[in-house]
Amino acid sequence: MFEVPQLEVISLSRDLHYQLRDPQTESALAMVAPVAVGELREEKGFKRFLRSKGPGRFPGENVHIPRITFGVGDREGRTFFFVDRAEKLAGHGCMPHYAVVDVGGGVIGYTTNDHRQSLVPPDGPVDAEGMTLLSGRGHLRDRDHEVVCDMVARVAMNPEATAEPGVRFMGRDGALLAQMRGYDSTKVEFAPQAPQLVRALVTALMIAGRVDERLQVSIITSGYSAPEPVQAPGEPYPGYQDVHSSYMRYQEEFIEWYKKEMNKRGRIAAAGG
């Protein structure tokens, strides 16, 4: 799976089930299915009141989405690795981080995004085609949280822009390791020198993109609906309880910052500033 020059994620008819395939040959490489689904938590009392207060900039901002762990494996049920979507707490609209974990519970790496930077509008130089570059917002990280790839997005700054948008995955030495063409591409192209770690993390990110899209759409249209896990209840791998512990602390801290920041912006807007 990590040797093909291109990879594609196909959504299947069963909710939150996917197939990874080689788009050049259309051969199946792996199947993706939810194997563990967390419980929907409804906050009560004063904490729920505090979470719900605010301008609600993003759809689903005040919705809790439980943790969902996906197994990536073959049709016979053998798992290659897990892609673990962290719980999203109510109180912000950012997409949560993902952990990529081997079958023995060893963390391979993480896909992350800077929640604060997600609130900052693009302000870089605009080229002749009406496009600008966004970097430093999304990263692929190793098991020690060290950055192995910066995700550099090329985005349109006006409706008349006709150039192709996309995302490039740049290594620490500035080398191009992989790229997606288009805003919402289901395909990724790997550079020949892309290491297996980068290929695994990019693959996880491609899965994450489809999952985030499905969950976000469901929240906007009909609210959260839990998928049916294909495994019996229980922890899918050793160390399951702790793999997102540092991110959950970050998320709590961000929610407090976000609430204050939105209130400050609201006061400035009300004052005509």
pLDDT in tens, the chain (273 residues): 889 999 999 999 999 999 999 999 999 999 999 999 998 876 554 454 444 454 456 667 888 999 999 999 998 889 999 999 999 999 988 999 999 999 999 999 999 999 999 888 888 888 878 888 889 999 999 999 999 999 999 888 877 777 778 899 999 999 999 999 876 689 999 999 999 999 999 999 999 999 999 887 777 676 677 788 887 778 999 999 999 999 999 999 999 999 999 889 888 888 876
DSSP 163-224: S--EEEEEETTS-EEEEEESTT-SEEEE-TT--HHHHHHHHHHHHHHHHHHHHHHHHHHT--
* Residue 47 dihedral angles phi and psi, to the nearest 5°: -65, -40
CA 85 – CA 43 distance, rounded (Å): 20
Predicted pLDDT of residue 164: 79
Predicted pLDDT of residue 58: 67
At a CB cut-off of 8 Å and minimum separation 6, what does 25 contact?
Answer: none
Predicted pLDDT of residue 62: 86
pTM comes to 0.90
Contact 137, 117 (CB under 8 A): yes
Predicted pLDDT of residue 51: 47
Predicted pLDDT of residue 133: 87
Ordered by start, the domain boundaries in the chain are 6-270
Predicted pLDDT of residue 59: 67
C-beta atoms surrounding 235 within 10 Å: 11
